[in-house]
A and B are shown apart, each in its own frame.
Chain A
């Protein structure tokens, strides 16, 4: 494994780093006036990275041939699947952020750069083959995210959300680091493969502590209950494009990392983490559903909905089977499309002064005043609730199918029962939009780019999405094959 090969395998990361540094110079000289050009350049960089990554997924890359720098970095099909979702989400974030911040007159040249560096960190997270690579990727992503959350500097809620995210994120990082040092102490290695080999004989109590602490630290990132408390506040306070970024790219990367740690580092001790994952999955589903009831802020509602959906995704992990892992990836991909559609629809809601409308009660009668936005929003809600004609159903279906195949019928049954509670608040939004007296608050017109993204993402979660199930399933299977080798 020579150095040139390692560099070739990390090409997307190198491209983002180098162009990020160059654009940083542009930002330093050009100032905030250059922000639009930097955004466009960043989207171009992300697109280029996606093209660099795609062949890895199509080529079903796996095994020792694709591990770079002595196993620190893995450029396999699994990483590629996650990276494509991350780059797409980051690109969407940049596209919707520009008009949003322009309207608020708060566009800064560093915003696209922070998104770029956060994506770099996320790419490293899902490619990590070693605890240290994991931690560096995670922190690179987190530090950029803390700043992104508070990027509307004059807005009190945005600043508050950034601070909350930072303090609790530091606590989670501390827990994660503690778990990593315990794991290292009891196994004598930081590489995932080494940990797996060292634990194949049995799990010492100390390593169990390490495992649980690491799971807790990662659960914070995916906002799984009981480590979800930051989510509603941060999702509500952060600027909506940033919330979109957190709900899509951040989730994908942290879930990818969680899968890597669970299957690659602790793959020989599945029983140890299965219990904890089941616990977190059920708690997330229930808390996500219960917390959302009574919320009047649509972004807060989406935050609870994300907690709820993470619970369903974790059911796939709880099975600890290939089918479960593949189902998780399918669900994550669909969830990204649903989140993009949901948040872009929220972005289009502006009152006559051009301020964002976030109260659900203000959406009353939206079907009469803005029928297309209402239709898109209703599709998102039905899809999140997993009601059959929409694509969200497919994600839930594959996850529950994997759970039933793994003989976890009780888990699947509780999950399905709790999703009924969730349906209540999704349907409430639809009811307010379609059956209540028009509040006539939503006045403003949206940007063309927002409308285009909304149409695309709504089409993806509409019944048309089922045309892509075969392709999506195949790609998820390629990715899973790289994560959990046969035999």
Chain B
């Protein structure tokens, strides 16, 4: 099965015993020791207190890029490109077109006749150009 060296089996106990010893010394025997240690090894103390700065590492390596990527997809791709050229764009093109159609529908005969003649000329040019 799992053949592990005997010292590995004893290692947790040794670490626990060391920790117990240090804790007993620092908090019961000599209560000034922690403050002195912090003063002496401030850097090490902060490093341990902040859990090896793992949270910060995660934050900068994974969370920030993920947030940035999300923002890009949301603001630029979704709102800027998909919405703009998709639903909103189509809607505004339709609104624009309907305003243009209303403007052309002026009620005056000459503009109606003009549209007819322009259409006729357009159709002829298209067929002749083919």
Contact = CB atoms under 8 A, between A and B. Distances in A.
Interface stretch (A76-84, A225-233, A474-482): A225-233
A229 B116 contact: yes
Contact of B107 (A167, A216, A233): A233
Contacts of B118: 226
A290 B126 contact: no
Nearest to B109: A167
Nearest to B118: A226
B102 to A, nearest CB: 6
B91 to A, nearest CB: 10
Contact of A164 (B109, B115, B119, B128): B109
A459 interface: no
A172 B98 contact: no
Contacts of B98: 290-291, 293-294
Query: Which of A164, A227, A232, A280: most chain B CB closer than 10 A?
Result: A227
Contact of B116 (A164, A227, A232, A280): A227
B105 to A, nearest CB: 6
Given A208-B128, A275-B130, A229 B115 contact: yes
Contacts of A279: 123, 126
Interface string B59-93: 00000000000000000000000000000000000
Contacts, number: 76
Contacts of B15: none
Nearest to B106: A229
Contacts of B94: 290, 293, 421, 424
B53 interface: no
A479 B101 CA distance: 37
B123 A276 contact: yes
Interface residues of A toward B: which range?
Answer: 20 to 34
Interface residues of B, number: 27
A226 B104 CA distance: 11
B34 interface: no
Contacts of B42: none
B19 interface: no
Contact of B123 (A167, A216, A286): A216
Contacts of B107: 233
Contacts of A226: 115-116, 118-119, 122
B113 interface: yes
A168 B115 contact: no
A220 interface: yes
B103 to A, nearest CB: 11
Chain B interface main SS type: helix
Contacts of B105: 229, 232-233, 291
Contacts of A215: 123
Contacts of B126: 275-276, 279
Contacts of A154: none
Nearest to B96: A290
A175 B126 CA distance: 18
Nearest to B113: A171
Query: Which of A225, A229, A276, A279: most chain B CB closer than 10 A?
Result: A229
B127 A212 contact: yes
A43 B124 CA distance: 43
B24 to A, nearest CB: 78
A398 interface: no
B121 to A, nearest CB: 10
Contact of B124 (A172, A209, A287): A209
Contacts of B111: 229
Interface in A416-451: 421, 424
A239 B16 CA distance: 101
Interface in A192-221: 205, 208-209, 212-213, 215-216, 220
A272 B113 CA distance: 25
Given A287-B101, A293-B94, A293-B98, A205 B116 contact: no
A167 B130 CA distance: 33
Interface string A283-303: 000110011011000000000
Contacts of A272: 127
Contacts of A280: 123
Interface of B: 94-95, 97-102, 104-105, 107, 109, 111-113, 115-116, 118-120, 122-124, 126-128, 130
22 contacts: A164-B112, A168-B112, A168-B116, A171-B113, A208-B124, A212-B124, A212-B127, A215-B123, A216-B120, A220-B116, A229-B105, A232-B105, A233-B105, A233-B107, A275-B127, A275-B130, A279-B123, A279-B126, A280-B123, A290-B100, A293-B94, A293-B95
Given A168-B109, A421-B94, 6 more contacts: A168-B113, A175-B120, A216-B119, A229-B115, A293-B98, A424-B94
* Nearest 7 A/B pairs, CB to CB: A226-B119, A229-B112, A293-B98, A290-B97, A291-B101, A290-B98, A290-B101
